[in-house]
Amino acid sequence: MLDSFFFSQLQSSFQISSHNYFTCESCVWKCLNDVCRLLSKKSFSNRCNHFLRIRDSDNRNRRNALHQRSSFNYQCGLTMKKVLNFFSRPEEEIKTARTTYVSREPTLAPHPTTAARNSAPSARQVPPHDKTAPVPKAEQIPTDYAGIVEFFQRKVRDRKSPYNGLVKAADGLKEFIPDETSRLKAVLAICGDKWPLDALSLAISTHISDIDLARMRAREDMRSQVSERSAGLRKQAGDLKTQNEKIEIEIRSLHDNIRKLEATLSSNKSELASLDEQIQLAEANANSASFVDQAAENLKNDLLAKKVILGLP
C-alpha cells in the first residue's frame, strides 16, 4: 500500500486526474527523478530511471517488467519514506491498536549515521499509555521487638552514605578493636579526609530522617493492619452472633416440639392403661364362658345317669 499512498500524495500535489493516471505517472516519476538527483539520492534516482525505461519499452517488455510492479513500487515507497518524512514521529503516534499514518508537510532531514545509531540508547520506547510500573508491595512490619530493631537498622544500611562507609570500614577492624566506639574513632582518625565531619553529620541526620519516615509509615501500616484485623474480627463476631440467634430460635422450636411430644406421650400412656383394663375384662369374660360350658356339661351328664337308673330306653 505504500506506492498507492505516496502516489496519491503526489497525485494531489501535481493535480493528476484519475482518467489520465497512466500518462501522467511518467511525468511524476520524471519530477521525482529530478528532485532525488538534486538531493543526491542516487538509489531512488536509479529506480526512477529504470521505471522510465519500462514506460518507454514495447508492450512485450512492458508486460514482463510490470509483472514485478508490486515489489518495484514497494521498494520505491521505502526509499521515498527515507527521503520525505510523510509519517508521524514517534512522539506523535496514535494510541490505537491499528497502524495509522499522519499526513505531514515533507521536510528534508539528513540520514542518521551508523555511529549515531550505534551510540543511541537501545532502550525500548514505551508509549505514554503503556508506562504502568508495578506497584511495590508494602514491607511486612515484624511484631517482636528484635525484629522491629532489625527493620530500622536495615533502613539505615540500605542508604549509601558516608556514615555507612565509615561503619563498614570500622567493621573490618572488629577483630583487632572489639570496642565499637574506639573502632569508629580509629577509622575516622586514619581516613578522616575521606569522610568529612560535615558529611558524616549530614548523613546521620539523613538516616534519622529515614528512621522517622519509616516509623511514621510503620505506624500507618500497623494502624491499617489493626483496623483491617479489627474489621475482620468484628465481621466474624457478627457472623457468630447471627449464628447463635439462629441456634437459639431452633432450640426454642425444639423445646416446643418436646413439650408437644411429652403431651402426646402422656395421652398415649393414659389410653394404654384404659386398653389394659379392657383387655383384663375381656379375659374375665372368656373365663366365664368356660364356666358355662362346664355347668352345662355337668347337668347333661347328670340327666344321662338318671335315665340309666330309671331304665328308660
pLDDT in tens, 76-118: 665 555 544 433 333 334 444 444 444 443 333 344 444 444 4
Q: Do 85 and 161 have their domain in common?
A: no
In this prediction, residue 268 carries a pLDDT of 93
Burial letters for 264-295: b for 16+ Cβ neighbours within 10 Å, e otherwise? eeeeeeeeeeeeeeeeeeeeeeeeeeeeeeee
Written as nine digits, the cell of 311 is 331304665
Alpha-carbon span 20 to 24, nearest angstrom? 6
Residue 133 lies in a domain: no
Residue 112 lies in a domain: no
Domain boundary residue, one of 205, 239, 254: 254
Alpha-carbon span 15 to 210, nearest angstrom? 70
What value does the CA radius of gyration of the chain take, rounded to a whole number of Å? 56
Domain boundary residue, one of 254, 271, 306: 254
Comparison of pLDDT for 11 and 208, the residue scoring more: 208
In this prediction, residue 21 carries a pLDDT of 40
Residue 304 lies in a domain: no
Q: Which domain holds residue 150?
A: 145-254
Written as nine digits, the cell of 131 is 508506562
Q: Find out whether 41 and 79 touch, Cβ atoms under 8 Å.
A: yes
Written as nine digits, the cell of 225 is 493492619
Q: Do 85 and 158 have their domain in common?
A: no
Residue 308 lies in a domain: no
pLDDT one-digit tens code per residue, 232-248: 999 999 999 999 999 99
Residue 69 lies in a domain: yes
Written as nine digits, the cell of 66 is 510490470
pLDDT one-digit tens code per residue, 259-282: 999 999 999 999 999 998 888 888
Contacts of the segment 237-242: beta carbons below 8 A, 24+ positions apart: none
Q: Do 246 and 163 have their domain in common?
A: yes
Tell me 18's DSSP state: S
Q: Do 82 and 152 have their domain in common?
A: no
Q: Do 101 and 183 have their domain in common?
A: no
% of residues, the chain, pLDDT over 90: 14
Residue 282 lies in a domain: no
Number of domains in the chain: 2
In this prediction, residue 76 carries a pLDDT of 60
Residue 293 lies in a domain: no
Q: Do 164 and 87 have their domain in common?
A: no
Q: Backbone phi, then psi, for 276, in 5-degree steps? A: -65, -40
Domain boundary residue, one of 254, 279, 294: 254
Is the entire prediction scored with pTM above 0.85?
no
Alpha-carbon span 187 to 164, nearest angstrom? 12
Q: Do 250 and 167 have their domain in common?
A: yes
The arithmetic mean of pLDDT across residues 124-136, rounded, is: 47
Residue 202 lies in a domain: yes
Side chain identity at residue 19, one-letter code: H
Burial of 123 (0-12, 13-18, 19+ CB in 10 A): exposed
Q: Do 178 and 236 have their domain in common?
A: yes
Mean pLDDT of the chain: 69
The arithmetic mean of pLDDT across residues 169-182, rounded, is: 86
Question: Which of 109, 204, 131, 112 has its CA nearest to residue 165?
Answer: 204
Comparison of pLDDT for 292 and 92, the residue scoring more: 292
Q: Do 96 and 182 have their domain in common?
A: no
Which ranges of 84-196 does DSSP label H, i.e. alpha helix? 114-119, 145-158, 162-171, 180-190
Q: Do 39 and 93 have their domain in common?
A: yes
Is 120 in a helix, a strand, or coil?
A: coil
Chain Cα centroid distance, residue 92: 30
The arithmetic mean of pLDDT across residues 132-139, rounded, is: 51
Q: Do 167 and 94 have their domain in common?
A: no
